[in-house]
């Protein structure tokens, strides 16, 4: 059992193989005592409480789910408004329950176990006697992972209405650490995944999304680290929210040097009405502890998200290499043009052809037809099924793009149902990319979309779906909700989306789904529960991608990171990079092409054929192996990383140099994650040479690395242990 309870001391000790988390009930308050490397549990464990006590005020007490109104002046984890208009509550410990395994969360994505022995769960029940508000804090701890998953269930056990004004998933008070730093991922469209690191001083740093989606601007993730923490050393505490809507993550340092980190659904513009007997379940926060730096924190997230968040047939399967027609044709294509690209792709070994935007309604540009999910016979005279069959006839699978959450004002759907979009009566409907957002809080809207997609899936052999979402939510209101529930719209939208995704993905388990939101606008764990891969960014430039993919890997496994080779000059930045370089960057992710293969020279086609064949050999390792980041593109001209198999007998190294270096110094790349006891053959891809090195030598002394004196150089090495 990984949860030890000492009832007489009010002590709860949650333990994984390398981590302890301690809670103590003090004067009825659940107090946060410790989170870090494993503490051996001893019978004498009673002095763990910090020097402060409630007598000195709640403001000095580290807490597990802090309240507002009785003397703690920091950010609370929750707040409610009672029918009498008051907003003060005080939760006191009531009881606890232990469960084997980890419960599912009704209607919400969540990490899971396949066997009850993988995790244990503690439910701490707290009550506010005056209002009848009950809060159940859920803690699941995995036996073999340094992961603790937290969420809260707020239940109205009183007789009167309770309005939630705020309900975060977790809040942790890290005391005794007065010089922590906060890390997070920031960005914008085509600039996702920037790693930020800021010192925390008295005051707070807040990242959030008010966009109704997790957003390009900030990913729903934050980490607390010490100033010494680096890629391979030092402590890191990660907080990742399994949610796809607006969120907040706030780190606050109080006047006593305690750092409080809270993460959850954004409390800005949020309220939720609970009638007597009703309950609200927050999304869950996945908290990871690493004593070996950021690299180990990331690998802990990768292993968990790859195997216990992603689901379905493709979770453990090698993903198909695809060619997508978006940057090849945009909206301007015919059936024959698509088949011509596919023909070339199939000759080169590509396995899946994806028909992107523009195949439905009357969509010649991005200003119409979203919602009209039926084929455009002007472009596809013999229909979609015919194109799909022709592509299948080439030995390739067929994939299709949808943007199911949207409606164009210029669409048949909008003409029939002008109230089906999110809107606020009497106000303008702000268009973005000429489109509005469907009101997914409404079951009839979701049913219409389900039927439209299901109809296509039953008549066209669709093996893959790209589920896109190209704008943020505005005028967030629903014609179907009463006035007192309008502030629930944004969260209800996400719950509606999850309900539809569950229905579609379970009804069509053989389809591989990839989520997308103008690239990485909704690259979050919530979406990964339904769709095991994401289009990482609309920026396909290989140099830009070094940073975007590196940053994204701070939390997300490589199997989820879609990466395509595109044409040069690059469509986003105009840069010309060699095909080898573009290939190596894209092969470091979930690989594909997004260009017109029919325009390639024979030499370029040979290169593609080589890349495709090579990726087929290594993709198991790339997609399922452990990622070790070696050199950060955020820090200089060189970047490198490697993938290592679980048994450490195989590895793959990619190294990149962006700009040529004249009269370059001797470079040595120190590898990581290998077995120091093993010997490895090291073969340079395309280099023909093969050498034998000890794992210890490769990690201590390193691997000699040289580039040609040209811009945009890459190197790839394959390592195989000698048994």
Q: Which residues are catalytic?
A: 468, 538
Using the rule CB under 6 A, which residue among 245, 295, 409, 519 binds ligand DGJ? Answer: 519
Beta strands (DSSP E) in 175-245 are 181-186, 194-199, 203-208, 221-225, 236-241
Of 337, 350, 317, the C-alpha closest to 593 is: 350
What tokens were used for 234? 């030092």
What tokens were used for 25? 């009930």
Alpha-carbon span 639 to 93, nearest angstrom:
50
356 binds ligand DGJ (CB under 6 A): yes
Of 239, 250, 225, the C-alpha closest to 301 is: 239
Alpha-carbon span 253 to 53, nearest angstrom:
19
Closer residue to ligand DGJ in complex, CB, 296/468: 468
Alpha-carbon span 16 to 386, nearest angstrom:
54
**Min dist. Cβ of residue 143 to ligand DGJ (A):** 39
Instruction: Yes or no: say if 380 and 333 are a contact pair by the CB < 8 Å rule.
Output: no
Considering only residues 450 to 469 of the shown chain, the ones binding ligand DGJ according to CB under 6 A are: 468
Closer residue to ligand DGJ in complex, CB, 253/370: 370
Backbone region of residue 92 per phi and psi (left: phi > 0; alpha: psi in -120 to 50; beta: other values): beta
DSSP letter, residue 292: B
**Min dist. Cβ of residue 537 to ligand DGJ (A):** 8
401 binds ligand DGJ (CB under 6 A): yes
Per DSSP, the chain holds a count of helices (H) and strands (E) of 12, 38
Closer residue to ligand DGJ in complex, CB, 218/360: 360
What sign for the dihedral angle of Cα 589, 591, 594, 596? positive
Strands 181-186 and 703-705: unpaired
Alpha-carbon span 566 to 552, nearest angstrom:
20
Closer residue to ligand DGJ in complex, CB, 41/571: 571
Closer residue to ligand DGJ in complex, CB, 79/518: 518
H/E run at residue 121: strand 119-128
Instruction: Yes or no: say if 376 and 330 are a contact pair by the CB < 8 Å rule.
Output: no
**Min dist. Cβ of residue 115 to ligand DGJ (A):** 37
**Min dist. Cβ of residue 590 to ligand DGJ (A):** 14
516 binds ligand DGJ (CB under 6 A): yes
Of 485, 514, 522, 476, the C-alpha closest to 245 is: 522
How many residues contact ligand DGJ, by CB under 6 A?
12
Residue with tokens 């790339």: 622
Considering only residues 428 to 447 of the shown chain, the ones binding ligand DGJ according to CB under 6 A are: none
Alpha-carbon span 184 to 217, nearest angstrom:
11
The piece of 9-17, 278-286, 503-511, 512-520 that touches ligand DGJ (CB under 6 A) is 512-520
Strands 679-684 and 638-644: unpaired
Closer residue to ligand DGJ in complex, CB, 322/703: 322
* Residue 514 vs residues 96, 112, 300: alpha-carbon distances, Å: 40, 20, 23
189 binds ligand DGJ (CB under 6 A): no
How crowded is residue 696: how many other Cβ atoms within 10 Å of its Cβ? 14
The piece of 241-249, 450-458, 515-523, 628-636 that touches ligand DGJ (CB under 6 A) is 515-523
**Min dist. Cβ of residue 258 to ligand DGJ (A):** 42
- Where do runs of H (alpha helix) occur along 373-488? 384-393, 412-416, 443-459
**Min dist. Cβ of residue 357 to ligand DGJ (A):** 4
470 binds ligand DGJ (CB under 6 A): yes
The piece of 223-231, 474-482, 513-521, 707-715 that touches ligand DGJ (CB under 6 A) is 513-521
Alpha-carbon span 449 to 687, nearest angstrom:
51
Closer residue to ligand DGJ in complex, CB, 470/639: 470
Backbone region of residue 658 per phi and psi (left: phi > 0; alpha: psi in -120 to 50; beta: other values): alpha
Closer residue to ligand DGJ in complex, CB, 185/516: 516
Strands 322-324 and 352-355: parallel
What sign for the dihedral angle of Cα 148, 503, 589, 222? negative
535 binds ligand DGJ (CB under 6 A): yes
The piece of 9-17, 102-110, 514-522, 548-556 that touches ligand DGJ (CB under 6 A) is 514-522
Beta strands (DSSP E) in 311-360 are 322-324, 352-355
Instruction: Yes or no: say if 702 and 671 are a contact pair by the CB < 8 Å rule.
Output: yes
**Min dist. Cβ of residue 389 to ligand DGJ (A):** 23
Alpha-carbon span 507 to 449, nearest angstrom:
14
The piece of 40-48, 169-177, 334-342, 516-524 that touches ligand DGJ (CB under 6 A) is 516-524
**Min dist. Cβ of residue 516 to ligand DGJ (A):** 5
**Min dist. Cβ of residue 327 to ligand DGJ (A):** 8
- Which residue is closest to ligand DGJ by CB? 357
The piece of 119-127, 137-145, 511-519, 700-708 that touches ligand DGJ (CB under 6 A) is 511-519
Closer residue to ligand DGJ in complex, CB, 142/523: 523
Instruction: Yes or no: say if 570 and 705 are a contact pair by the CB < 8 Å rule.
Output: no
DSSP codes, 10-69: TEEEEEETTEEEEEEEETTEEEEEEEES-----TTTT--S-S--GGG-GGG--BSS--SS
- Where do runs of H (alpha helix) occur along 417-565? 443-459, 489-507, 525-530, 542-552
544 binds ligand DGJ (CB under 6 A): no
**Min dist. Cβ of residue 354 to ligand DGJ (A):** 9
**Min dist. Cβ of residue 539 to ligand DGJ (A):** 10
Alpha-carbon span 310 to 316, nearest angstrom:
9
Considering only residues 16 to 75 of the shown chain, the ones binding ligand DGJ according to CB under 6 A are: none
Closer residue to ligand DGJ in complex, CB, 283/589: 589
Closer residue to ligand DGJ in complex, CB, 329/518: 518
Using the rule CB under 6 A, which residue among 301, 326, 333, 556 binds ligand DGJ? Answer: 326
360 binds ligand DGJ (CB under 6 A): no
**Min dist. Cβ of residue 535 to ligand DGJ (A):** 5
Closer residue to ligand DGJ in complex, CB, 262/371: 371
State phi, psi for 496 to the nearest 5 degrees. -65, -45
DSSP codes, 542-560: HHHHHHHHHHHTTTS-GGG
How crowded is residue 158: how many other Cβ atoms within 10 Å of its Cβ? 19
**Min dist. Cβ of residue 190 to ligand DGJ (A):** 9
Alpha-carbon span 147 to 31, nearest angstrom:
20
Closer residue to ligand DGJ in complex, CB, 519/638: 519
Residues forming the site for ligand DGJ (CB under 6 A): 326, 356-357, 366, 401, 468, 470, 516, 518-519, 535, 538
């Amino acid at each position: 059992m990984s949860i030890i309870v000492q009832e007489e001391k009010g002590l709860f000790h949650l333990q994984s193989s390398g981590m302890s988390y301690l809670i103590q009930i003090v004067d009825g308050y659940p107090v946060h005592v410790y989170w870090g490397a494993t503490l051996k549990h001893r019978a004498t464990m009673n002095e763990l409480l910090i020097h402060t006590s409630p007598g000195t005020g709640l403001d000095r007490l580290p807490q597990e789910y802090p309240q507002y109104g009785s003397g703690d002046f920091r950010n609370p984890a929750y707040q409610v408004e009672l029918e009498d208009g008051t907003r003060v509550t005080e939760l006191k410990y009531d009881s606890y329950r232990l469960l084997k395994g980890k419960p599912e969360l009704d209607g919400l994505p969540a990490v899971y176990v396949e066997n009850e022995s993988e995790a244990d769960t503690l439910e701490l029940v707290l009550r506010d006697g005056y209002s009848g508000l009950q809060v159940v804090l859920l803690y699941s701890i995995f036996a073999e992972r340094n992961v603790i998953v937290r969420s809260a269930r707020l239940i109205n056990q009183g007789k009167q209405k309770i309005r939630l004004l705020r309900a975060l998933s977790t809040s942790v008070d890290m005391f005794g650490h007065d010089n922590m730093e906060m890390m997070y991922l920031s960005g914008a469209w085509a600039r996702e995944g920037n790693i930020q690191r800021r010192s925390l001083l008295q005051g707070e740093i807040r990242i959030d999304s008010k966009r109704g989606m997790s957003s390009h601007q900030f990913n729903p993730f934050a980490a607390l680290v010490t100033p010494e923490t680096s890629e391979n050393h030092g402590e890191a505490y990660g907080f990742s929210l399994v949610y796809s809507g607006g969120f907040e993550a706030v780190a606050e340092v109080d006047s006593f040097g305690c750092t409080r980190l809270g993460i959850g659904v954004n409390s800005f513009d949020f309220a939720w009405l609970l009638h007597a007997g009703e309950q609200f379940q927050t999304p869950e926060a996945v908290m990871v502890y690493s004593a070996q730096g950021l690299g180990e924190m990331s690998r802990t997230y990768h292993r968990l998200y790859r195997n216990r968040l992603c689901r379905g047939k493709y979770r453990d399967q090698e993903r198909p290499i695809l060619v997508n027609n978006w940057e090849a044709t945009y909206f301007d294509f015919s059936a024959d043009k698509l088949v011509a690209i596919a023909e070339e792709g199939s000759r080169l070994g590509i396995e899946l052809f994806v028909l992107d935007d523009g195949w439905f309604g009357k969509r010649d540009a991005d200003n119409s037809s979203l919602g009209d999910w039926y084929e455009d016979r002007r472009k596809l005279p013999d229909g979609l099924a015919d194109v799909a069959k022709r592509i299948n006839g080439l030995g390739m699978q067929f994939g299709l793009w949808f943007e199911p959450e949207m409606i164009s004002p210029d669409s048949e759907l909008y003409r029939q149902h002008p109230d089906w979009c999110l809107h606020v009566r009497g106000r303008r409907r702000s268009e973005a990319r000429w489109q509005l957002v469907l009101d997914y809080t409404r079951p009839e809207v979701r049913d219409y979309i389900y039927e439209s997609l299901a109809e296509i899936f039953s008549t066209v052999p669709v093996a893959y779906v790209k589920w896109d979402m190209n704008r943020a939510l505005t005028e967030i209101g629903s014609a179907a909700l009463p006035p007192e529930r309008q502030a629930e719209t944004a969260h209800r939208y996400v719950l509606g989306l999850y309900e539809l995704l569950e229905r579609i993905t379970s009804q069509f388990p053989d389809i591989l789904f990839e989520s997308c939101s103008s690239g990485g606008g909704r690259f979050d764990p919530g979406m990964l529960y339904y769709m095991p891969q994401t289009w990482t960014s609309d920026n396909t430039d290989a140099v830009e991608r070094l940073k975007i993919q590196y940053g994204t890997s701070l939390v997300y496994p490589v199997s989820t990171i879609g990466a395509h080779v595109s044409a040069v000059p690059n469509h986003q930045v105009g840069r010309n990079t060699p095909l080898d370089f573009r290939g190596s960057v894209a092969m470091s992710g979930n690989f594909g092409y997004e260009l017109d293969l029919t325009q390639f020279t024979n030499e370029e086609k040979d290169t593609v054929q080589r890349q495709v064949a090579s990726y087929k050999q290594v993709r198991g390792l790339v997609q399922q192996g452990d990622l070790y980041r070696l050199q950060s593109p955020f820090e200089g001209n060189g970047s490198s990383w490697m993938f290592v198999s679980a048994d450490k007998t195989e590895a793959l190294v990619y190294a990149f140099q962006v700009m040529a270096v004249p009269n370059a110094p001797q470079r040595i790349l120190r590898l990581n994650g290998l077995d120091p006891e093993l010997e490895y053959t090291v073969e340079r891809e395309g280099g023909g040479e093969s050498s034998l090195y000890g794992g210890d030598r490769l990690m201590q002394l390193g691997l000699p690395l040289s580039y040609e004196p040209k811009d945009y150089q890459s190197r790839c090495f394959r390592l195989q242990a000698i048994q």
